[in-house]
Structure 1
Amino acid sequence: MRVLLLGANGYLGRHVADRLLADPAVQLTALGRGDDADVRFDLASGSPGALTRFLNAVHPGVVVNCAGTTRGGARELTRHNTVAVATVCESLRRSSCGARLVQLGCSSEYGPAQIGSSTAEDAVPRPGGPYGVSKLAATELVLGSDLDAVVLRVFSPVGPGTPAGSPLGRLAEAMRRAMQAGDSELKLGGLAVQRDFVDVRDVARAVHAASLSAAQGVVNIGTGRAVRLRDAAAVLARVAGFGGTLHELDGHGARAGVGMGAADHLAGPPSHPYPDGCGVWQQADVRTARDRLGWRPRIALEESLADIWMEAACRI
């Protein structure tokens, strides 16, 4: 099976590439903006005609799109997350390869959810920010393209390579600095939100499974279990060997002591909004992934956090 991977150098793309390369039946070609791509091409500015000619020459059976950005204003997000997908869809429609498209979407397309609920694929999307809007527009382009396509809505990916600017990446970096300075206290805000954290290697397994399946439409990729960021911080402190105290800043700047074994919950919104525009709660309904892809998450959050810490610790 020849697979064309778009965005192979990104956070998700690197793990997807590793997973696909581990399959001896896969012949992988990487297309991207970086010098280390097999073929250099900018989806946000390149023409559909040029990409069509490349597709006809390579003739992949599957195209996996991990390309996109989480940063920038609405214009930048639209270029890289929406216009780029329009180029991919148009090129696939024009080409003679008949390739299947696996598009990586995200849970930000859904927006905030009711606390305690599990979000299924038939939920009405209400993205809470420009990133979610740009990704939802991309999903609608894929679903309306009449291509053989599936969109994997990935919830909150964690694990090796977690970006330093992400909430868990910033948390690990703050803990590293505290330990390096010998501080016994760490002041943190915004820990009341709850997210469905799924290991990035499990996401890569889902992409592989989707490439081989006949599933179409939208499929959620998560664990089906929301975890409070505050509890994830306690696990990260344990795997890091941080024996101090986490002081959580509430919405008024007050502090609440959080011991390493604490499991008590705070009510109310976080003092700093989680950047995905999804409010205080998100949890995936993952039955479709189980039934249509034969996929289940395998890697526990503690292992994912240990890998995040290992990378942060290397900077001590």
Structure 2
Amino acid sequence: MAASPVPPPRGDRTLAGTPVLVLGGSGYLGRHICSAFGAAGAEVVRVSRGAADGVDDDGCRSVRLDLTAAGPDELARLCADAGARVLVNASGAVWGGGERQMAEANSELVGRLAGAVARIPGRPRLVHLGSAYEYGPARPGTAIAEDWPPAPTTVYGRTKLSGSQAVLRAAAELGVAGTVLRVSVACGPGAPASSLAGAVAAHLAAGRDELRLAPLRDHRDLVDVRDVADAVVAAALAPVAAVTGAVVNIGSGQAVPVRRLVDLMIALSGRPVRVVEDPVLRRTRSDAAWQRLDIGRARRLLGWAPRRTLRESLRDLLAAVGAPRPAAAGAATAIGPRNSHGKDSR
């Protein structure tokens, strides 16, 4: 999951004092992105429906706004009032949302936002967080590069792709300095309970002895959420000409069996948890049994590579939810489908 650090090819040498506007700044990715920009010296304004107007404990200023209800004029005023030089779109609806909600948040909002940025004098750089699920299914063993023809089959993947395409059109046709980061599966501290890692962490923190899950057969490209935040900062610092209109994969570059993810979390907790893979709990969220991103472009354009290991990411996730830290690691007892070689299948 981790790789050797790569010196960043930075065009803007510093973010010190730079106004940065983060849409969806109270969400899972957004909180870490705000922290990363704050650590880089930027003046951060987070915007979300659940934010309370004012200055937060972390020094970021918060603005309350329902982004899906905001029109182009309101979005343009928001950027202009903040004096934003960098605009990050980390907003969006995730798997639990309905089709209409996902279309509004993942596609329609992004189109209005890209159009609004084009009208702002001294346009800010726009960094949009897309998703690896925009690519759709891939054959096992494939490393998905940015030139992979997108063919998502889920509503989430299709609406995220539509939003990313709006940013790319604005870059090509309206002169917006827009970049799309296609992010794989983020994990680490603060992972929501709607995610596999977040659900397992909550279970372990609650101290229950049995963990019942859908069959764990898939492989996922897992990247620490803090590494994702670092990638966003790197995109804001990269030479504008190099990243305008670019799609850049952000992931670990590895395909991890999700069964291994679950087993590692249980081992880190030190609790003898019984894992039941229940076929009745069928997988409904994803169209991809295999996910592994080629992250070579991120190294070349952003000077970015993931730094944190999967073990570190999961350890910090468990610590964040208050799961007990063991003196010695325990083991999981598996019940459910395994592949013919006796190994975990994704």
**Common topology (TM > 0.5):** yes
1:284 aligned residue:
293
**Deviation for aligned residue 1:241:** 0.1
Question: Which residue identity does 2:318 align to in structure 1?
Answer: W
Structure 1 position 157 matched with structure 2 position 186: yes
Find 1:12's aligned residue among 29, 41, 45.
29
Within a 5 Å distance, the mapping from 1:3-152 to structure 2 comes to: 3-24=20-41, 26-37=42-53, 38-70=62-94, 71-146=96-171, 147-152=176-181
Provide the rounded CA distance (Å) in 1 between the counterparts of 2:37 and 2:287: 31
Aligned with 1:145: secondary structure? helix
1:278-314 residue CA offsets vs partner (Å, 9 max, x unmatched):
3210000000000100000001011111122223445
Provide the rounded CA distance (Å) in 2 between the counterparts of 1:59 and 1:309: 38
1:256 aligned residue:
none
Find 2:259's aligned residue among 212, 230, 246.
230
RMSD value over aligned CA atoms?
2.0
Structure 1 position 299 matched with structure 2 position 308: yes
Structure 1 segments, 4+ long, off by >6 Å, are none
**Deviation for aligned residue 1:36:** 2.3
Is contact 2:26–2:47 with CA below 8 Å preserved after alignment?
A: no
Is contact 2:93–2:105 with CA below 8 Å preserved after alignment?
A: yes
Is contact 1:82–1:137 with CA below 8 Å preserved after alignment?
A: yes
2:200 aligned residue:
171
- TM-score scaled by structure 2? 0.79
Paired residues, number: 291
1:226-252 residue CA offsets vs partner (Å, 9 max, x unmatched):
100111111111100023543434x4x
- TM-score scaled by structure 1? 0.86
Aligned with 2:182: secondary structure? strand
Provide the rounded CA distance (Å) in 2 between the counterparts of 1:11 and 1:54: 22
Question: Relative CO higher for 1 or 2, CA cutoff 8 Å, sep ≥ 6?
Answer: 2
Find 2:282's aligned residue among 272, 288, 295.
272
Aligned with 1:171: secondary structure? helix
Is contact 1:142–1:149 with CA below 8 Å preserved after alignment?
A: yes
Gaps of 5+ in 1: 254-270
2:330 aligned residue:
none
Provide the rounded CA distance (Å) in 2 between the counterparts of 1:304 and 1:99: 32
Is contact 2:187–2:222 with CA below 8 Å preserved after alignment?
A: yes
**Deviation for aligned residue 1:190:** 2.3
Gaps of 5+ in 2: 1-17, 54-61, 326-346
Provide the rounded CA distance (Å) in 2 between the counterparts of 1:33 and 1:187: 33
Provide the rounded CA distance (Å) in 2 between the counterparts of 1:48 and 1:42: 13
Provide the rounded CA distance (Å) in 1 between the counterparts of 2:211 and 2:48: 40
Provide the rounded CA distance (Å) in 2 between the counterparts of 1:312 and 1:57: 37
Provide the rounded CA distance (Å) in 1 between the counterparts of 2:63 and 2:202: 34
Alpha-carbon spacing, 1:188–1:67, altered in 2? closer, same or farther (3 Å): closer
Provide the rounded CA distance (Å) in 2 between the counterparts of 1:186 and 1:142: 41
Question: Which residue identity does 1:16 align to in structure 2?
Answer: I
1:25-82 residue CA offsets vs partner (Å, 9 max, x unmatched):
x122222222425322222111111222333333311111111110321111011111
Provide the rounded CA distance (Å) in 1 between the counterparts of 2:269 and 2:294: 31
Find 1:240's aligned residue among 269, 286, 305.
269
Provide the rounded CA distance (Å) in 2 between the counterparts of 1:17 and 1:274: 32
Provide the rounded CA distance (Å) in 2 between the counterparts of 1:175 and 1:56: 45
The more displaced of 154-163 and 120-129 is: 120-129
Provide the rounded CA distance (Å) in 1 between the counterparts of 2:70 and 2:237: 28
Within a 5 Å distance, the mapping from 1:163-202 to structure 2 comes to: 163-177=192-206, 180-181=207-208, 183=209, 186-202=211-227
Question: Which residue identity does 1:126 align to in structure 2?
Answer: A
2:317 aligned residue:
308
Alpha-carbon spacing, 1:195–1:97, altered in 2? closer, same or farther (3 Å): same
Provide the rounded CA distance (Å) in 1 between the counterparts of 2:88 and 2:311: 29
**Deviation for aligned residue 1:170:** 1.7
Is contact 1:110–1:278 with CA below 8 Å preserved after alignment?
A: no
